[in-house]
Amino acid sequence: MACRSALRLHYEIVVTHQLMNTFDTDNLARLSKLQPRVIQASEHRMPVHGISRNALTVLRRLRAARFQAYLVGGCVRDLLLDLHPKDFDVATDAHPEQVRELFRNCILIGRRFRLAHVRFGPEIIEISTFRAPHRQGEDGMVRKGRIIRDNVYGNMTDDAWRRDFTINALFYDAAENVLVDYNEGWEDLRRRRLRLIGEPRQRYLEDPVRMLRAIRFAAKLDFEIAPASAAPITQLAQYLGEIPSARLFDEFSKLFLSGYAVRVWELLSAHQLAERLFSGINAGPCAAPEDANTRLPRMAMEDTDRRIAARLPVTPAFLIAALLWPELRGETARLERKGRATEAERADLAADTVLSRQVKQLAIPRRFSIMVREIWQLQHALQRHAGGARRHVDALCRKKRIRAAYDFLLLRMRAGEPVQQAADWWTALQEREPHAFPGKARAPDDAREAHAPPRHRKRRRRRTHR
């Protein structure tokens, strides 16, 4: 605890000092004089047909009101790489309140930085005002070394230099069909290179999640992280401990449930970030030789990537169960050496210990932690009752997570655990009785629950007596 407190104090002192000096007055004056590179349509060849019609409507209306308006961020990057953007972001010099006056279908969100969301049916166009660096006395706030509120508005140049990676700082002017590039992002895009804007160490200290974002973009786009941007990651990995665990779970979902989990894992391991998300994992250069414990998480990631590629449902619970399984086995063995209770009770105690330890790093939502626990608990039952009494088999087949638990048993067998006899018996049962297990794919209910909004029970109408 004392070590963690000392780390937090060091983090606050270092980051506060860096934030005060990263964008000083002289630096701002120098940046404001830089002229951006304007890239013509003949060079960038932006596939205009891929731009959302609703995004173009937003751009036109902002310009008609005498405001600047550009597409920016991931949508521009993805279009230039012939990828399909998942959403469209607009940057403008209009303040959020001014945007709301232009669009009736607009709501304002955010505390750290106010954003405008313009809804067109299921599609939301996000509009952000150009940001500037925080200066003393303006509407910004730094608490515990992190930016808490950042409502400091600026111009297009300021906004370009405040973004994280050069490839995310390209502005597209739909009216003129040109790209505006302040940070050589176009060149980095052509070279498939991921590079931070500014001094990498300072930018990572300002927001340590940028290290995970670097891994995610490098894996998703198959880019190489620039050496200067990659060098500080291992040294600064410890600062991920200062990020709220709920935010880290959001990043975990983006990292592992987007179809490139295996590549993400390789990069996380190479930069010693994997153990910052899962404390029981040693995936760095000092990791033990490959065995069943190391093969199982990787196989789970391969299966997850294949399911996403086939547009099948996935749930983070299955992947979390696989990632924490080696730690669970170690904790169960420790309890067994101490002579604690029965095998089933040891499994329950080990699950409690592992999950309670993990949520301090990664705030796993309760609906997923329950699913993880059920998958684990059913492993013992599947092994014990394979070939057993029919009433026990039927009772197991009625369990809600039986399909996911069976798939997990097969995964353990493929990884090299001695469970082939049980796995073969349950497989033979399904061949004889195709409807023994409910559902046709791994945990379809779990997957729908993973991505669906919370279900609210319909309110009952109060009866009135006449």
Six token digits for residue 129: 């005002």
Catalytic residues, by residue number, are: 87, 89, 164
- The answer to whether 74 and 85 are in contact (CB under 8 A) is yes
DSSP alpha helices (H): ranges in 124-226? 156-162, 185-190, 200-206, 209-221
Give the model's confidence band at 13: pLDDT under 50 very low, under 70 low, under 90 confident, else very high.
Answer: very low
As a 3-state breakdown, the chain gives helix, strand, coil percent values, each rounded to 5, of: 55, 10, 35
Domain count, the chain: 3
- What is the per-residue pLDDT across 244-263, written as a single tens digit (0 to 9) for each? 999 999 999 999 999 999 99
Give the mean model confidence (pLDDT) for residues 296-315. Answer: 94
Six token digits for residue 136: 């003393």
pLDDT at 336: 86
CATH assignment at residue 331? 1.10.3090.10
Six token digits for residue 462: 């109060």
pLDDT at 312: 92
Give the C-alpha separation, 439 to 141, whole Å.
Answer: 51
Choose among 315, 289, 274: nearest CA to 408.
315
pLDDT at 287: 52
Give the model's confidence band at 428: pLDDT under 50 very low, under 70 low, under 90 confident, else very high.
Answer: very high
3-class DSSP assignment, residue 165: strand
Give the mean model confidence (pLDDT) for residues 356-364. Answer: 90
Give the mean model confidence (pLDDT) for residues 55-62. Answer: 97
Is residue 37 located within the same domain as residue 186?
A: yes
Give the C-alpha separation, 55 to 69, whole Å.
Answer: 11
Burial class (CB in 10 A: 0-12, 13-18, 19+), 278: buried
CATH assignment at residue 109? 3.30.460.10
Give the mean model confidence (pLDDT) for residues 310-337. Answer: 92
Query: How many C-beta atoms lie closer than 10 Å to residue 45's C-beta?
Result: 11
Q: Pick the residue with more confidence: 46 or 284?
A: 46
Q: Is the pLDDT of residue 327 over 70?
A: yes
Is residue 39 located within the same domain as residue 138?
A: yes
- What is the per-residue pLDDT across 134-189, written as a single tens digit (0 to 9) for each? 654 445 555 544 554 556 889 999 999 989 999 999 999 999 999 999 999 999 99
3-class DSSP assignment, residue 171: strand
Q: What is the CA radius of gyration of the chain?
A: 26
3-class DSSP assignment, residue 132: coil
CATH assignment at residue 278? 1.10.110.30
User: Could you tell me if residue 21 is inside a domain?
Assistant: no
| Last-in-domain residue among 166, 191, 216 | 191
pLDDT at 328: 93
Q: Is the pLDDT of residue 190 over 60?
A: yes
